[in-house]
A = this chain, B = another copy of it.
């Protein structure tokens, strides 16, 4: 195998300059870089994997950033991760999960180490401090979810308008006219899915009525019990809340996984969250970016109706 010295001689540069290109420690002019890379190619100089990753800042590793210490990994997050990892593997990447807080602590350090080529950001807030860190460090990224003003960003998200429309239409077809919404925990006022679902419901529903709930069966059940008697059906945003509400009311969960539906004691009709599709599309969009494609068109996907078995 050729040595660095031979590469330097062939390219007519110092060993230090070859090292700068290999290690990315100092800027080298494009012409010199090209000469060195040509010399390496001609001599068959092969850097070891880590040295190569270091030089190119490429590891073929993608990181899904999930705030695991703030939000328990639930069934939708598990679907994001599994489908994203599977999509990455198909395209010769590895996807790993980084537990980074919602405030972005740790994120700067992890991306600064250059250990991933790009990031899939999850649990996106409307005003998300993690975006500035990714932009400042020039880290390629795709969002699952979106900020308040996502124009120009690469993202995939649920189409909340279409999902709520589909849900209300389904209940209307079943004869329901007075339909409430059990929404998310109002403390998460910066969380897109809660804000966008509620906005869509308030725009589309006749005589809207919204009750907040945490994402537990007990909280969902309590929320359902607070509804007035003329309400005949309820949309429920959070899937574990929906399990509790379902014991007392006609409910239609808006974003449920099949695994959670299987936990219901009575068979449920529900809207299936497109989590697996979003994980896959986000990974593909990120890899397209890494391969030099322009920022891909965002995808918005509605949940799909799953009739009770």
Binding site for B on A (CB under 8 A): 3-5, 14-16, 19, 22-25, 47-51, 53-54, 59, 61, 63, 68-69, 72-75, 77-78, 81-82, 85-86, 89, 94-99, 106, 109-110, 112-115, 216-218, 240, 243, 247, 259, 262-263, 265
Contact = CB atoms under 8 A, between A and B. Distances in A.
A48 B19 CA distance: 13
B243 A49 contact: no
A25 B49 contact: no
Q: Copy number in this complex?
A: 2
B109 A99 contact: no
Contact of A97 (B4, B48, B97): B97
B54 A69 contact: no
Contact of A23 (B22, B69, B113): B22
Contact of A263 (B73, B106, B243): B243
B114 A85 contact: no
B94 A109 contact: yes
A198 to B, nearest CB: 25
B73 A78 contact: yes
A264 to B, nearest CB: 8
Nearest to A49: B113
A69 B84 CA distance: 10
Nearest to A262: B216
